[in-house]
Amino acid sequence: MILTDTHTHLYSEAFEKDRDEVIKKAMELGVERFFIPSIDSTYTQAMLGLEQAYPNHMFLMMGLHPTHVKENFKKELQHVERLLDERKFYAVGEIGIDLYWDRTFFKAQQEAFRFQIQLAKKHNLPIVIHSRESFDEIFEILEEEKGEDLFGIFHCFTGTLEQAKRAISFNMKLGIGGVVTFKNGKIDMFLDQIDLEHIVLETDSPYLAPVPYRGKRNESAYLLNVLKRLSEIYGKDEREIAQITTKNSKTIFGI
């Protein structure tokens, strides 16, 4: 059984003391493919180091995270653009709009999101969307940009059934992680109405650990807890769900 973690920040400082052990543990449990989203330029070297250490398992994205859109965001976007021109990445992400923490740079977040969608189209890459308190704002921009050249993943999807269907209408898969195991996560109430062809698995580690690890550091090995919950929701064998969701990730990322 091969599992794909479509979203994990393995370069995070949270893994500084035991990164290799965390990766080895996940791989022993069948998690063999790790897609690594970017946050900003300060993490680029750490991401490249991960790829160098595990060239057959780590697949890098490039992008500017919306919560890191600050006064210098245009310089950060130049970094993203340059890296995409220089070498291979598997997605532009994670990008989007986050209005939960701070609305100060909302206009800049919109500009950065649009610009990075254009970069993804230029390089024929998927986008990986971060959306928090911002579904309407995200959908507004996706509506402007929709087309065959727009596709990707709604990372850490926590919306309603209606929002799920709308996301899918923009050629997006839904990234399902630890939230599906939460008692108040809500998406478990309707997820079986969404065909598995639209689902990919993720952890967002070190964040959003699933039950029974909620509140602790998340890691890719806990993808099996997400898989178990999806097996219960869909009434399907875990191996079948692993196969379908990994196939979906290959469709999106091209590998």
What are the pLDDT digits (tens) for 211-230? 999 999 999 999 999 999 99
Tell me, what's the pLDDT at 243? 97
The domain total for the chain is: 1
Spatial contact of 3 and 224, defined as CB atoms under 8 Å apart: yes
pLDDT confidence of residue 192: 96
Q: Are strands 199-201 and 172-176 parallel, antiparallel or unpaired?
A: parallel
Could you please report the per-residue DSSP string of 22-55? HHHHHHHTTEEEEEE----GGGHHHHHHHHHHST
Please count the other Cβ atoms lying within 10 Å of the Cβ belonging to residue 203: 30
pLDDT of res. 185: 85
Per-residue burial over 224-242, b if 16 or more Cβ lie within 10 Å, else e, is bbbbebbbebbeeebeebb
Strands (E), the chain: 3-5, 31-36, 58-60, 92-98, 127-132, 152-154, 172-176, 199-201
Residue numbers of the chain with a pLDDT score lower than 50 = none
The predicted pLDDT at position 171 comes to 97
Token representation of residue 86: 């220089």
* Cα torsion 244, 58, 90, 191: sign: positive
The pair of three-digit structure tokens given for residue 224, joined into one six-digit string = 């099996």
Residue with tokens 């091209």: 254
Residue 32's φ and ψ, nearest 5 degrees, are -110, -15
Distance CA 186, CA 114 (A): 30
Tell me the residue type at 41. Answer: S
Specify the residue for token string 């994670």. Answer: 94
Q: What is the pLDDT of residue 186?
A: 92
Q: How many residues does the chain have?
A: 255
CA distance 74 to 35: 25
User: Containing domain of residue 79, as a range?
Assistant: 3-253
The CATH number of residue 58's host domain is: 3.20.20.140
